[in-house]
Amino acid sequence: MPARRVAAALLVALAVSVVAACSGGGAGDTHDGGGKGGDPVERDRPSTSSTWAGPVLTGSFEAVIPRPSEVRAATGSFVLAGEIAVEVEGGAPAGDAASLLRRRLAESGVESGGTGGGDGYDGSPARPSIVLTAADADRDLGDEGYRLSIRPDGVEVRARGHDGFVWGAQTLAQLLPASRDEIPEGGAPALPAGDVRDVPRYRWRGVMLDVARHFFGVDDIERVAELASAYKLNRLHLHLTDDQGWRLAMTGHPELTEIGSRTEVGGGPGGFLTQDDYRRIVEHARRLGVTVVPEIDMPGHTNAALVSLPHLNCDGRAPEPYTGMAVGFSSLCVDADSTYTFVREVVGELAGLTPGRWIHIGGDESRATAPDGYRRFVARALETVRAAGKVPVGWEEIGTTDLSAGPVVAQHWIDPAPAARAAEGGAELIMSPANRVYLDMKYDASTPGNAWAGLIDTRTAYSWDPDAAVPGVRPSRVLGVEAPLWAELVTTRADIDARLLPRLPAVAEVAWTDQGERRWDDFRTRVAGHAARWVAAGYGYTRDPDIAWPPER
């Protein structure tokens, strides 16, 4: 079924209860992972929940994606009527989460203020509150875990760090209606009472966007970061360079964008990000709990660089610009000292722009590079990244190189052998098996996209175990999961949306939720209810026929 953009909001799978909130418009059946929830919120402040007698639209923990680790339902709900205070008691790390939560409340028609996040509220306890509190003693939460305690008289979010607060806020956001249009006339939204303790399965939970084959600008990239954050994905890998284009301005080598950015697949105009553009993307993503991981692909996939700087070719000549889709034909001159000077300068400049810990050097499909030369190049490139203060990441082919010199991450995509060898050599692995999570693939034969890795419907993207993706690799070597979106056939924002949704939430649950707690039949029901959220936020999606979607309007 072709992908399509839905023009009107759909009904979300939430329960409408025309009852007083204090009588318990509850969460319904909820998941219980067997652990203890957080302590109830006990604060001496008035609560709209105790007096509200109108209809309420109560969210459900059963709608949350990714499924939380532990949920315990309680009686009642916290009614979001009147003005709600969002208070920060956890210090600066909670400020971004508070701002995000206020935006989501406003989208649901709820007025809010509060301390932290810059709205100027004076902290008066006169309003019912959602309080974000530091949980320094809760070491079991790690840097990204969080606890929620929702009661009729208030809500508490506890976390140890910035990202944990963001993920707690994103869970609360999924308990809100998709838009204010869903709230019954004269009614109010409500959060179900209960306790949540939630920690991720993997440290790396990512999505990759290829802006080299077809260029996408700041707004498009930030939309992907917003979507990633909504589902607790914490890495945005940007594939910035390839044969068809170089997409990030380099002060030391302006030719890379003056010349190398002017092409893309099919002969379009291309384009590039200025360094200010890149900084804006990085900061926007950071506030959302998402770390940008930039990729400069080398020694192959480098035609745009060779066109721009002919001395990087062994013969010193500039090749023709490339607008096709073939791979494996280009290579830096790996025996020339000038090549390593170039790599050092580009990596150094990129490291200065990138606060995150990782820089991706590519290293895939280097068929035009002699094997010995490839191994020498990769070893030197990895060391250059480390010297710049970053951890190098490369596609699984780097496993053919000695990786023992320092920390390194290898990304599995098609061949388990070099991925396993990389793990044996000391690398951590990101699992991106093409036949599961390459989101440029078709859902089925009728949808647009690539098909060389197979058809990938939502169930295929959901039903696998990352720990078993590369036989023989110990689970302790698996850093996480990432879903790449290559852009040979992706030309518009609508194309991005259709490829990502609904498969990206499926991958997000694979990456966050323990294997034994995931069930396809359960997920397919929950994800159908998210269609209204996507439409309300301006995203399109593909109506995968294996999911019982609400009727289109």
Whether residue 245 sits in one domain with residue 370:
yes
Could you give the number of structural domains in the chain? Answer: 2
Where do we find the tokens 């790396």?
204
Q: Measured between alpha carbons, how far is residue 314 from residues 122, 244, 431 in Å?
A: 66, 20, 35
70 in active site: no
Chain centre distance of CA 88: 25
Q: Packing angle between helix 162-174 and helix 95-107, nearest 10 degrees? A: 10
- Among 198, 226, 251, the domain-final residue is 198
Query: In DSSP terms, which residues pair with 392 in a beta bridge?
Result: 359
Tell whether 154 and 282 lie within a shared domain. Answer: no
Q: Which CATH number do you get for residue 119?
A: 3.30.379.10
Strand partners, 441: 450
Q: What backbone torsions phi and psi does residue 327 show, to the nearest 5 degrees?
A: -130, 165
For residue 459, count CB atoms less than 10 angstroms from its CB and return exposed for 0-12, middle for 13-18, buried for 19 or more.
middle
Spatial separation of the C-alpha atoms in residues 359 and 533, rounded to whole Å: 33
The pairing of strands 478-485 and 56-58 is unpaired
DSSP assignment letter at 238: E
Which tokens go with 543?
């109506």
**270 and 396, same domain (yes or no):** yes
Task: Report CA-CA distances (Å) from 498 to 33, 221, 246, 453.
Answer: 33, 15, 25, 18
Element (H, E) at 428: strand 428-431
- CA torsion, points 110, 232, 515, 442, in degrees to nearest 10? 100
Answer whether residue 451 is part of any domain. Answer: yes
Kindly state the DSSP code that residue 184 receives in the 8-state scheme. Answer: P
Q: How many CB atoms lie within 10 A of CB 377?
A: 27
Q: Are residues 492 and 416 in the same domain?
A: yes
Which residues does residue 119 pair with via DSSP β-bridges, in sequence order?
A: none
Q: Report the DSSP beta bridge partners of residue 207.
A: 236, 483
Give me the catalytic one of 89, 222, 345, 365.
Answer: 365
Nearest by Cα to 459 from 412, 535, 527, 531: 527
Q: Which domain does 30 fall in, by range?
A: 16-198
Question: In CATH, what number is assigned to the domain containing residue 259?
Answer: 3.20.20.80
Residue 54 sits at the vertex; the CA angle it makes with 156 and 131, to the nearest 5 degrees, is 10
Give the torsion through C-alpha atoms of 55, 61, 64, 68, to 10 deg: 160
- The secondary element (H helix, E strand) that includes residue 36 is none
Residues 180 and 290 in one domain: no
What residues does 541 pair with on adjacent strands? 4
Vertex 221, ends 210 and 247: CA angle to 5°? 50
Q: Do 186 and 302 share a domain, yes or no?
A: no
Q: What angle do CA 349, 352, 358 make, to 5 degrees?
A: 100
d(CA 206, CA 437): 11
pLDDT tens sequence across 503-516: 999 999 999 999 99
Strands 235-239 and 204-210: parallel
Quote the distance between the C-alpha of residue 306 and its chain's center. Answer: 32
- Which of helix, strand or coil describes residue 147? strand
Question: Which three-class secondary structure state does DSSP give residue 194?
Answer: strand
pLDDT of residue 354: 98
Q: What is the pLDDT of residue 92?
A: 80
Same domain membership, residue 302 and residue 265: yes
In a domain, 341, yes or no: no
Q: Classify 491 as helix, strand or coil.
A: coil
Q: What is the phi/psi pair of residue 481, to 5°?
A: -135, 145
Q: Is residue 72 part of a domain?
A: yes
Q: Based on the domain organization, do 129 and 254 belong to the same domain?
A: no
Q: Is residue 177 part of a domain?
A: yes
Give the span between the Cα atoms of 297 and 238, in whole angstroms: 11
- Say if 157 falls within a structural domain: yes
Which two three-digit tokens encode residue 399? Answer: 């496993």
Please confirm whether the linkage preceding 355 is cis (ω < 30° from 0): no
Measured CA to CA, the distance from residue 417 to residue 420 in angstroms comes to: 5
DSSP string, 274-334: -HHHHHHHHHHHHHTT-EEEEEEEESSS-HHHHHH-GGGSTT--PPPP--S---S-----T
Q: Which of 198, 225, 248 is the last residue of a domain?
A: 198
Supply the pLDDT for residue 136: 84
Whether 6 is covered by a domain: the verdict is no
Give the chain's residues under pLDDT 50. 1-47, 117-123, 125-126
Distance from C-alpha of 95 to C-alpha of 103, rounded to nearest angstrom: 13
Q: Are residues 191 and 258 in the same domain?
A: no
- How would you class 337 by CB atoms within 10 Å of its CB: exposed for 0-12, middle for 13-18, buried for 19 or more? exposed
Residues 143 and 212 in one domain: no
Joined together, the tokens standing for residue 120 give: 């100027």
**Both 229 and 158 in a single domain?**
no
Q: Which two tokens stand for residue 306?
A: 């060779």
Q: Is residue 110 part of a domain?
A: yes
> Please, are residues 547 and 523 in contact by the beta-carbon 8 Å criterion?
no
Beta partners for residue 533, in sequence order: none
Cis peptide before 371 (omega within 30 of 0): no
Residues 296 and 237 in one domain: yes
Within a domain: 401: yes
